[in-house]
Structure 1
C-alpha cells in the first residue's frame, strides 16, 4: 500500500515547481517535505525527482503523479457517496494544460458554467497546442487541450473542434513589406511574430507558400501581446479568427495574402479513471466548445 502523504508531497513539489512553495501549500516545513520525498525514494529504491530547477519527475515519478491525480478525483466521488467521510474544506482544484490562444478565446465561456455549478477552481498550465500532452504524460495535470489526437495509455481523447488561424498584419506593415508583384520569397525577410519555440504555425504557413528555411521573427509568448505587436506594425503572424473579429471588421488587421487559413484541430485528453467530476467537465466541453470551434 502507498503512503499517500508521501505521494501528496511529490505532487506538491512538481505542481508548485519547488520545495519551498510545496511546503507552504501543505502547511509543512521544507525539511518535512524533503524528508517525505526521501522516504518515498527509499521505499521504492529509486529516485522520483530530478533535483533540477524546477524539480522534474523521473519515469517512476510520472507514474506516481498520474496515479495520485486520479486518486484525488475518485476520493471526491467517494466523499459524496459516503457522507461520514466528510467533505474537504477547500474547493476541488483541477490542473489543466491548454494553449494560450484557447485561454484567450473560447475556453473561459466554455468552462464557466461547470466551475460555477461545482465550485471548482482551475490551475491553468499554458503550453503550445502541439506539445501540451507532455504535461499530462508527466503527471502534472488531470487533463489537457492539445492538437494531438492519440491519447496516452489509460486516457481518452475527444475531438472538440478546430481553431481557425489567419495570417494577418496591419495595413501599414503590408504596405511596407509586401509589395504588389514582389516575389513571395521577400516574406522570409519581413519580420514575423512567433509565440514561442514550439509554435510552428508560421512555419506551416510559409511551407504552404513553398518557402523553407529560417525567417526573421520576434518571439512573443502572450496571445494578447501577439495581437498588440501586429497592430503596432512590428510583424505578421497567424492569429485565431476568434480573437480578432473587431480588428478585422475595423480594418486594423488584414490578411497578408489571399489564401486558405490554417485550421488547427483541438482534442480534449483526460484520464479514463478520472471520476465523475472529470467526466462531467468532459461532457460540458463536448457540448459547448463547438459553439466557437469549427466542426
Structure 2
C-alpha cells in the first residue's frame, strides 16, 4: 500500500471541514490538489471514503479509516516535534487543544499568554467543542490535549486547573436576583433553558439530588443564544460560574442550593504518548501554581 501522511492529512481536513474547498484553504493549496489526494487514497483503499454531498461525510470505510488517520497524524506531529526540539534545544511545533466554550472564553486566553512568553516556538491552536466531544477528540488524535470536565480518571501528568461551581442565571429584575442563594426547587418555577453544548450531565445530577424531574423548556447549542433567551425573559438557566465573563450587564448569577461543582482538568491523551510540548505546557502551570503557594 502507498498511503501517505499527506493523504491522511487531506482526508482528516476534508471530514473536519465538511468540504474540499475548506480543506484546500486550510492547507493553502487549490481544490484540485485536495480532490486528487482523496481520489488517490480511495484508489488505494479500493472504495469511496467520503460522500460527494454538501457537507461531505465519511463513508463507513472512511469512518473506520479516519480514526486511525488521526492517531497517525498525532504521532507524526509528535515525532517532528521531538526531532526539532533535539536540534533547536527548545520545545517547538503545533499543539491542538480542545476546550468547552466557557473554558475557551475564560481560561485559554490567560494560558496562551503564559505559553507564548515561555514557549515562543510552540503554536497553540484552539478547538471548541461540547464536553462529550473533548474526550473523543483527545482519544482519536484530533487534538493533542484538552480541558476535560469531571474526568473519571486523570491521566498521569494531568493538571486540575480549577473547580467551578454552577449558578442560576437570571435577569436583574427577576424576584430572586438579589438573593444570596436560590433553592433549585424555587428556580424551577420558571422555564429552564439549557445549552446542549455541555454541562447537561451536571445539571441533570443536581435535579436528581432533590428528586426533581429534568424537563428543560428549551435546549440550544450556543451559550450566546442561551444568554439572549434569558435576557429576553424566556426563562432562567443554570451555568458554570466561568460563564460570568460572557454575560451581558442585564443578567446576574446567583448561587444554588444544593450547590454543585465541576472539575476542569488539562491533560494529554491516556492511550498514547503525549505530544512533547504538551508536557512542557503543563509543567509551566504546575510551576506557577507552586510559586504562588
Indicate the residue corresponding to 1:236 in structure 2: 236
Q: How does the TM-score come out when normalised to structure 2?
A: 0.74
| Contact 2:103–2:242 (Cα < 8 Å) also in 1 | no
Distance in 2, matches of 1:244 and 1:227, equals: 11
Q: 1:216 to 1:4 in 2, by over 3 A?
A: closer
Listed one character per residue, the Cα deviations across residues 223-261 of structure 1 (whole Å, up to 9, x for unaligned) are x564555455443222332443899xx9962537x5232
| Contact 2:101–2:129 (Cα < 8 Å) also in 1 | yes
Distance in 1, matches of 2:153 and 2:157, equals: 5
Indicate the residue corresponding to 2:75 in structure 1: 70
Distance in 2, matches of 1:207 and 1:92, equals: 45
TM-aligned CA deviation for residue 107 of structure 1? 2.4
Distance in 2, matches of 1:20 and 1:212, equals: 46
TM-aligned CA deviation for residue 50 of structure 1? 5.7
| Contact 1:231–1:253 (Cα < 8 Å) also in 2 | no
| Contact 2:106–2:242 (Cα < 8 Å) also in 1 | yes
Provide the alpha-carbon RMSD of the alignment.
3.9
| Contact 2:100–2:198 (Cα < 8 Å) also in 1 | no
Q: How does the TM-score come out when normalised to structure 1?
A: 0.73
Segments of 5+ residues of structure 2 without an aligned counterpart are none
Indicate the residue corresponding to 2:110 in structure 1: 109
Listed one character per residue, the Cα deviations across residues 7-40 of structure 1 (whole Å, up to 9, x for unaligned) are 2222332344421121223333323212212322
Paired positions, count: 273
| Contact 1:48–1:59 (Cα < 8 Å) also in 2 | no
Distance in 2, matches of 1:142 and 1:50, equals: 28
Q: 1:172 to 1:159 in 2, by over 3 A?
A: same
Indicate the residue corresponding to 1:59 in structure 2: 64
Query: Which of 239, 243, 262 is the matching residue for 2:260?
Result: 262
Indicate the residue corresponding to 1:95 in structure 2: 96
Q: 1:219 to 1:59 in 2, by over 3 A?
A: same
TM-aligned CA deviation for residue 143 of structure 1? 2.0
Segments of 5+ residues of structure 1 without an aligned counterpart are 84-90
